[in-house]
Structure 1
Amino acid sequence: MWWKRKPEERAQWVLEPLVAVGPLRFGMSPGEVADALGGAIAYASQGLDKGFGWGSYADWGITAVYGEDSGLVGVAVDAMEGPPVSLQGIGLIARVPSAVDAELRDLARREGASVRVNRSGDPEIGAWGVSLGTEQEEGLSPEGYVERRDRAITRALLVSRELAEDPYGSDAVKLWRDVSTVRPNPGAWPVRSWQVRPEWAWVPLESIGPLRFGMGPQRVAAALGESPVSRGGRYPYGLPWEGPGEWILEEERFDRAGVTAHYWCIRGRLPILSAVTVHGRSGPQVQYAGIRLVGESVEAVDAALTRYLDDNGLVLAYSCGGDLGPHGLGMYVRATRTGDSMISEARFCSAGWDDHG
């Protein structure tokens, strides 16, 4: 865990573009990677030594990605736990995103390298095999508990030559983390002013604004007065108990309202509304016990929510993704990025909804 190792105690790695990251050289086998990491064991893995695969090394804060011949083709470095990696003196990990962006673009101009924007809205440089991303910074409270911060900090995926032109589009990386269904960000994070956001009422486990849990998709669209800008779902293959069948709707995004509708649906049943995410940058304002839940400082909302629950003898619950909420009410405070910062958003769920982030 990151709090057990101070930043200065982590190994300092240097990126040799398209060739090596610290002690790891592209083309290494899983066994050679483990040896280079001092005999490290992957705490989670898939397909190691079987062609395409990946292994995550918690003690190092990295994930190694392997190609079809089980040779190392990518190294994903975590923001909170990974080693500080530098490229020509530019630190790539656990820094303010805009600062890293500016420094990389300046270096690229001097060296004639092309910089593009990847799906997360961060810089990607094929000439160096670098694709940046971010995650939310965490810290320790005075009592020693892990708590969320309002800062976004950088992480990186560093790849070999064969993946450099489209790292997240490669089969090897998709096996580890498929971002094809994630809504792409063009590199801008506009935030709707609170003065123009409507105020929505929330009845725990029953409704949020004009949306009642149990509605079908057509009624959801009618209640919001708009059509979804995108829809997500899946085919039921891969789950033996379901068997083959028609496409299953899982979610719809409504940009004007600033919400995403999540549906519960199985083979042979119509989808019903079971959860609603109110977007932090654009969604309506919702309050709980006088606490504004949407578009606010994550640290401030977490602190106010925790204090209110403690003062009233109520229990704090966490979702699978680490989001906070009052136990039994089906509400979780989430976080979304606004450039270098994070702001709050919220998910409201029906009874029985198992929130997985």
Structure 2
Amino acid sequence: MWVLTPLESVGPLRFGMSMDEAAMALPKTPELRRFQAEPCFPEIVGIQLGLGPAEPTVYQYFDGSGRLFCVATDAVRGPQVTLEGAELAGGNPAELEQWLFDLPESMGGVSYGPRGNPGINDLGLVLRAQNTANGLLSRPVLVGRDWADRCVDDWEGAIPECEWVGHVWPHPSFPQDRVWPPAGYTPTWASRWSPPF
């Protein structure tokens, strides 16, 4: 179980650490692959860690200077991430969305990005939906202080594009199987980049 210290660290990973430091922080979790996490910024490197090729647990993202700025955990196999006693990975999206609204105002207000994902910029926290054998479950995406400004905004924030692709956060007034990009839509990056997962 990993405890989130908003904007500073999540479990053994401290935002701002180097790739070597991040690897040393998780010595029992091997690197599965590296990939380009952003279509327009090839210097943004993603590293997938896990137990095997089909069992990713953690995604780390490094900026152009090689500093860890974003971490996401798998909803099923990833370490559980807790904040204020709430478990953020593998949870019921509706319950976690309500939990965000129940947090004290001093922790920041809930906002939604253009693709409907809830989060709190002041905590560097965005909740994403991941399709699993048990339906859509929560997947926390976390950023450090230097990258938290507008992190919930999937167009202008620092979270890499690959983290926004896939299932859209469920909402009672929309179909539960919505994905981005939707069928028939061709993103501007389609001819030069493919999402890594």
Same fold by TM-score greater than 0.5: yes
Distance 1:120 1:63 in 2: 21
User: 1:215 maps to what in 2?
Assistant: none
C-alpha displacement of 1:161: 1.6
C-alpha displacement of 1:104: 1.8
User: 1:43 maps to what in 2?
Assistant: 32
Which of 165, 168, 173 is equivalent to 2:160? 173
Q: Structure 2-normalised TM-score?
A: 0.74
Is it true that 1:99 corresponds to 2:86 in the alignment? Answer: no
Higher relative contact order (Cα pairs below 8 Å, separated by 6+ residues): 2
Which of 42, 58, 68 is equivalent to 2:50? 58
Q: Structure 1-normalised TM-score?
A: 0.43
Matches within 5 A, 1:1-357: 12-38=1-27, 40-46=29-35, 51-59=43-51, 61-109=57-105, 111=106, 113-138=108-133, 149=134, 151-167=135-151, 168=154, 169-170=156-157, 173-174=160-161, 176-177=162-163, 179=165, 187-190=171-174, 231-232=185-186, 238=192
Contact 2:58 2:73 (C-alpha < 8 Å) held by counterparts: yes
C-alpha displacement of 1:236: 8.6
Contact 1:120 1:187 (C-alpha < 8 Å) held by counterparts: no
Contact 1:77 1:155 (C-alpha < 8 Å) held by counterparts: yes
Contact 2:131 2:167 (C-alpha < 8 Å) held by counterparts: no
Stretches of 4+ moved more than 6 A in 1?
182-186
Q: How many residues align?
A: 175
**Matched residue of 1:93: which SS?**
coil
Distance 2:21 2:104 in 1: 32
Gaps of 5+ in 1: 1-11, 139-148, 192-229, 240-356
Gaps of 5+ in 2: 176-183
**Matched residue of 2:47: which SS?**
strand
Distance 1:63 1:80 in 2: 13
The alignment-based identity, stated in percent, is 26
C-alpha displacement of 1:185: 6.9
The CA RMSD over aligned residues, in Å, is 3.2
Distance 1:53 1:177 in 2: 13
Contact 1:117 1:187 (C-alpha < 8 Å) held by counterparts: no
**Matched residue of 2:160: which SS?**
helix
Per-residue CA distance 1:300-355 (angstroms, 9 max, x = gap): xxxxxxxxxxxxxxxxxxxxxxxxxxxxxxxxxxxxxxxxxxxxxxxxxxxxxxxx
